Every structure is written in structure tokens, then in C-alpha cells.
Amino acid sequence: MKILLIGERGQLAWELIRTLMPIGEIYPVDFPQFDISDKTQIRDTVKAVAPDIIINASAYTNVDLAETEKEKAMAINADGPGWLAAACASKKIPLIHYSTDFVFDGTKNTPYVEIDQPNPINIYGLSKWKGEQAIQQETGAALIFRLAWLYSMRGNSFVTKFLEWAKKYETIRVVDDQIGNPTWARFVAEATATVLSQAIATEMLLYDWFTEKKGIYHLTSNGEASRYDWACEIYKNTPNKENLFVKEIKPAKTVDFPAPAQRPAYSSLDCWKVKSSFMISVPSWENQLKKSLFFFNL
């Protein structure tokens, strides 16, 4: 099986490459060799690789910068995925794409389900929602997984940022009025591999299986936390605390940290659909975090 993986250098793609190796031959691509905002390049790459499936793990993820780089965010998160989906449809290639909890406005007080109406409150969320719509308009054989508060022990994530802060500052203030699902990138990669393995194991053509299962699924950890809760749990489970300078983690409010982009106050996602559709076991966010910190410190 040939797997065209877009977004090679991202934290999710790093985990996907290692998790999907037993399943198929992976062809990872990324900017500048591959530009998802270039329609011609998409068509030519799909033709040249002739993959059995395409996984799009690329995204414009700078939430604040997107407010001033709207065109770039839309090109990468909305236009490109739409063109990619069209190329997939023309060749009957199934597609896996990842979206975000930020498609919601955060006004609920119970976890969002897939049929809840998106209402993004920032450009990043809007671009991802438009990407979902574009994909569904162009192909009937796509799985869209909405993720939330994605992190890994590589690159720029909240966990790695907090650990850097903890080495520099005695007191760290973290907001306690933003609620979501901290989700380890490795869990997302493993869940993706589970889904793809199920598709391969059936007697159906891959494209037909994806057509039958098509749609949006929420894929996050189990349970929810504030960013303050998350920070406290990171500190609690970090080995070798003697290397950290931090002595106190204090709760704060979003208004204490003015930013160009508004964040949803509550964006927890309900994962019942993905669990029931693919029999995926979803561990708690605390469990995921403990494992990620353990492997990081081996």
C-alpha cells in the first residue's frame, strides 16, 4: 500500500510515519517541495506518486498570526484541502484529513458532538471549517478527524512550552477559563493506524470502505481540563523535577493575556461516534500525558 503523507515535518506526521510503517510504504512530503496551496502541484504529485490513500496532516496552525495572514491560512487550511479532495475524487483515492475543535465558538457547557453547528470565532477556526466543507463537497470518500489541544514531545506544543517555562521562571501563570481535551499526537497516529487497518482487513475496495464510513469524527483524549489543570498535571508527572526552576503554578484568566485571536472558552469534544464506529479505545488525557512524559524522559 502506498500512503502519501502531507505535512512531513509536523508533530502529528512525525508520529504517523512511525506508526504507519508496518501498514504501507509512506511517501512523506512538505513545503517547499510540496505546496498544498498550489493546485497544480497537488495534481502533479498525486499523479506521480499514485497512492492508495492520502493523509493530510498539514495545516496552518498559528492561531494569532492567522488574524493578519488570513489569505495564507485560508489557502493552506481551506483551498488546498479542497483541491486535494478533488484530486482524490478524480483518481478514486480515499482521504484522511485532520481538523480542529476551534470550529466551535465555545458557548456550550457540555462536550460538542459532530452534529453541533460550527461557529468559529477566529480566522484559524474559520479556515479549518471551510476546509471541512471543501473536502465534503469534492469527495465522498473522506474521513475528517477533529482533534483538540494536540501536543507531542517534539516541536512547539503546550507541553514543551511549559517545560521550557518551568526551567526559567519561579512562578508560571496559566489560564483556568479555557476548557478542552489535551490530546497526544501519538494516540491520534495510533487511532489512524487502527482505522486504516480495519479498512484493509475488509473485502471491500478501500475507496468503497471510505465512502461507507465517510464523515466527520471527533478524535481526542477522554475527559477535559483547563489549561491550568493541564499545566499542573505536566509538572506533577515530570521526572527529574530537580532540573526545573518553577516553584508555583498560579491560575489566571484569558483576559490577563491579550491576544490577536479569540479562543473558545469551552471546546471539549465528545468522541462517542469514533469509538462506536471503529471500536477505538480512548484513554484519559491524564493517562496520555503520563505516557508521553515517560517516553520523553527515557
CB 148 within 8 A of CB 181: yes
- Closest of 246, 188, 201 to residue 15, by C-alpha: 188
Residue 284 burial (10 A CB sphere; 0-12, 13-18, 19+): middle
Q: Give dist(CA 56, CA 184) in Å, integer.
A: 18
Active site residue 124: yes
Q: Which of 60, 124, 228, 266 is catalytic?
A: 124
Cell of 147: 482533534
CA distance 199 to 176: 40
Burial 112-139 (b: 16+ CB within 10 A, else e): bebebebebbbbbbbbbbbbbebbbebb
Grid cell of 144 as nine digits: 475528517
* CA separation for the pair 273, 42 (Å, rounded): 31
Name the helix (H) or strand (E) containing 44.
helix 39-49
Q: What 8-state DSSP symbol labels residue 238? A: -
Contact assessment for residue 99 and residue 144, using Cβ atoms and an 8 Å cutoff: yes
Question: What is the spatial distance between Cα 134 and Cα 83, in angstroms, rounded to a whole number?
Answer: 8
Residue 118 per-residue DSSP state? P
Q: Which residues are catalytic?
A: 124
